[in-house]
Chains A and B, each alone.
Chain A
Amino acid sequence: FRFKDSLAEDLCGADLVISHAGAGSCLEALEKGKPLVVVTNETLMNNHQLELADQLRRDGHVLCCDCGTLVDTLQSMDLSTLKPFPPGQPEKFALFLDKVVGLQ
């Protein structure tokens, strides 16, 4: 398919996600607890896209590769090494903001 409004359904049914390094794509897959392989393409990407993919890799949440090494990665990967990605905490922001505006 070309474009869907939401990939949520497809993500839920997946055992493995292989994605580009877009933040939205990565975070959506991680939040659904899916093992994720991020394929970076430095010739196409904005520099900053690589920052998040790199950090997620360092933290052990994703596997990274580029187009050339994708096949090798898929053949040799050990998904059990991936660590679960804890959700963000907007409640912390709410608490902070309440103090700022004087609601607390």
Chain B
Amino acid sequence: TGGHTTEILRLLSCLSESYSPRHYIFADSDKMSEAKIRSFEQKRAETFSSSQFTLDRIPRSREVRQSWTSSVVTTLYSIFYSLPLIYKRKPDLILCNGPGTCVPVCISALLLGLLGVKRAIIVYVESICRVETLSLSGKILYYFSDYFIVQWPNLKEKYPKSIYLGRIV
């Protein structure tokens, strides 16, 4: 969604073309991200001759301030939906930065890893908005990601397993 998309596109801005093809996954309710992604990829295609990418939508796992119990149900539904998608794409690397959408995607990838189908490296970058506290996605994926990056030193102190590279967006 919105700010998350802008941030993740900035994270991608300096990556080499080895990181290809790029599979973007976002919530079905998201109206603006598709345009931002296409614009980014179009610009990228000007420098790198071939720009391979796909766009997929999954059901939004949680609305802002949605109750705990209903969130579990909607997240389970999103996992059910994203599992065949991740199986199809079989990513080597998953990069996410905090929208609710990333939790079912990462859980699906973890399941596929456990089943021996495909092991993906999960890299989570917490949003620059998060200075003192982690987002809910961050709190969950702190334990399940391979690399957990924060952008402010206070978070590095509170979450010692995290990685601090400074501000990267």
Decide if A49 is an interface residue (CB 8 Å cutoff). Answer: yes
- From B92, B123, B128, B133, A27 is in contact (CB under 8 Å) with B128
Chain B's interface size range is 35 or more
Decide if A23 is an interface residue (CB 8 Å cutoff). Answer: yes
- Residue of B at shortest CB range from A26? B129
CB contacts (< 8 Å) of B167 on chain A: these are 86, 88-89
Number of A-B contacts (CB under 8 A): 78
The main secondary structure of chain A at its interface with chain B is helix
> When the two chains form their complex, are residues A88 and B128 in contact, meaning their CB atoms are under 8 A apart?
yes
The main secondary structure of chain B at its interface with chain A is loop
Residues of B bordering A, CB below 8 Å: 2-3, 6, 10-16, 18-19, 64, 92-93, 95, 121, 123, 125, 127-133, 135, 146-147, 149, 151-152, 163, 165-169
Residues of A bordering B, CB below 8 Å: 23-24, 27, 46-49, 51-52, 54-55, 86, 88-94, 96-98, 100-101, 103
A90-B12, A93-B168 given; 6 more Cβ-contact pairs under 8 Å: A88-B10, A90-B11, A90-B168, A96-B149, A101-B18, A103-B18
